[in-house]
A and B are shown apart, each in its own frame.
Chain A
């Protein structure tokens, strides 16, 4: 077997096809019967087959082609195009080159014809020629895929002889999640970093005015308020609140993937929404100078991403999200979940993206809230699945694969009950002080962050 990127150098020979066998068999048989029975009409019938067989045998290429297959690029973002191509050196006599690609879920051509690349060489070719067959496909959903499995073949005149290097093995393709639109005007509730854009509680270098005070050693001259200083007769400076950054931990609940997933631009499942929202949140807050980390629950092998600042962190977040395999860690794997949650640093703002179906994820959110961490739960359950009575047969099958149509009503009733339970669980979470907001792209977090900011500034009882 050959892999894209490998070369197939004369691995196979030109073999006669069914067409050549047919021409030889029919031609020989009709000719023989015609001669033996003295029937000129049979010889007339045999003539084109004999000529076709002789012509094909005469023009059969002496050597096998060489081919090099590539798949580019190997890392793309959702909605981008991937090109599979085979560069061949074909000897004289080869006529048609065809490559058929095996289908890959969510990496598809825009039309069925796009799965096939075809090329025809000129009849007058006298020397070995370099040709390229290529086909383009669109990566429609984030994730890791094995794509590019193909069958390549070249045939001679009248399809009489065929060369094929065997089945070409697929290569891994990483499809990074695209980002949802997201903008937040509210700052973070309790910034505790070194430098950033959020107004800190303490005074220091920043842009937000805090108070006027007398000039002291270490104050910059540019901070002196000359008008106030003239009136008071001594030097006064404008004190400001320190601009600090916040450590944000984004937690993606990958215990379940609820709803239909048809790829970008079509129906999105809960995990699609979570992943695209996580990318948008990470990009927005990293651009705002925050430090962003990522934790993934329910996916085997997903390593926690420690908080960092900078544009490169967006790519790290996308890479980690693309590697999610939902439901590979069960909700009973409390140890793995607890280990992941232990990575959350004190003082961090935790954004949990969850369809709120997994009790483990909700329990962890409540536990973090009780520990004093600022937690915001972002509900990513697709709106279409929140109305059990409006679910179509396809929606229900995506929730729980059905064996018979009788399962339809059972699934609908079960989902309805689950939605009622879910409402109760969310209500308990809100009562415990953890806000739950639906993901609505722009401004999803504005109101809740303002409330958290107010809560952070409010006086609170302290034990002495």
Chain B
């Protein structure tokens, strides 16, 4: 019975098993970061989506699972008032990114593929670059909160957003 249950996992191949493991660890990490008084049913629903996402990583399930995590976060994590309050978000962002990258890789490499070493290195490097970029954005955000610059927060955030959009647009049209 156990062997039968493990068969689909065996067919995945070692590389995909590692990716599935990282995907689950990442979502578990985000769940842990949410306060304990979170509504258990909602978290359970999110985990159902996470498990569906493991089975069908190339569909809409990973997006649903990520949006589920966002909903839980939005409902149960209080609005950060100080720079220190941003720490859970700093931790959750790379975890969600890891889940996203793992789901993407699972969509690219079919079961039983022997993933080339070059691919492992390239994907790990991409993840590292994105995580570093996230750290940069988070750092600017922390600065905004701690400096308590004059003017409304809403306007500051809007300015930050428009700056980001403008940077992307400039990058797209000039490079």
Contacts and interface: CB of A to CB of B under 8 A. Distances in A.
Contact of B59 (A18, A52, A96): A18
A57 interface: yes
A113 B113 contact: yes
Contact of A45 (B11, B92, B168): B92
A289 to B, nearest CB: 51
A51 interface: yes
Nearest to B81: A40
Given A18-B62, A42-B74, A123-B125, A159 B107 contact: yes
B46 interface: no
B119 A19 contact: no
Nearest to B11: A112
Nearest to B117: A120
A41 B134 CA distance: 12
- Determine which residue in A21, A31, A44, A122 has the highest number of CB atoms from chain B within 10 A of its CB, and name it: A44
A26 B138 CA distance: 17
Interface string B107-139: 111101111101100110110001101100110
A429 interface: no
A41 B126 contact: no
Nearest to B87: A41
A48 B130 contact: yes
Contacts, number: 166
Nearest to A41: B89
B110 A47 contact: no
B100 A23 contact: yes
Interface string A8-46: 000000000111011101100111011101111111110
Contacts of B88: 41
B20 interface: no
B156 to A, nearest CB: 9
Interface in A319-359: none
A247 interface: no
Interface residues of A, number: 51
B62 A155 contact: no
A100 B110 contact: yes
Interface string B86-116: 1011101110110011011101111011111
A307 to B, nearest CB: 49
A100 B90 CA distance: 39
Nearest to B131: A48
A50 B137 CA distance: 11
Nearest to B10: A112
A95 interface: yes
A54 interface: yes
Nearest to B153: A38
B103 A51 contact: no
A95 B105 CA distance: 12
B94 to A, nearest CB: 7
Interface string A51-88: 11011011000000000000000000000000000000
Interface string B28-64: 0000000000000000000000000000001110110
24 contacts: A19-B104, A26-B66, A26-B67, A33-B74, A35-B158, A41-B86, A42-B70, A44-B137, A45-B73, A47-B133, A47-B137, A48-B97, A51-B133, A51-B134, A54-B171, A55-B130, A57-B172, A100-B110, A112-B13, A116-B113, A118-B109, A118-B119, A123-B125, A159-B104
Interface of B: 11, 13, 58-60, 62-63, 66-67, 70, 73-74, 77, 79-80, 85-86, 88-90, 92-94, 96-97, 100-101, 103-105, 107-110, 112-116, 118-119, 122-123, 125-126, 130-131, 133-134, 137-138, 141, 144-145, 153-154, 157-158, 160-161, 164, 168, 171-172, 175
Given A18-B63, A22-B62, A43-B137, 20 more contacts: A18-B60, A22-B103, A26-B67, A35-B157, A35-B161, A37-B79, A40-B86, A42-B89, A44-B90, A44-B141, A45-B96, A48-B130, A48-B133, A50-B164, A51-B133, A58-B175, A98-B110, A118-B109, A158-B123, A159-B105
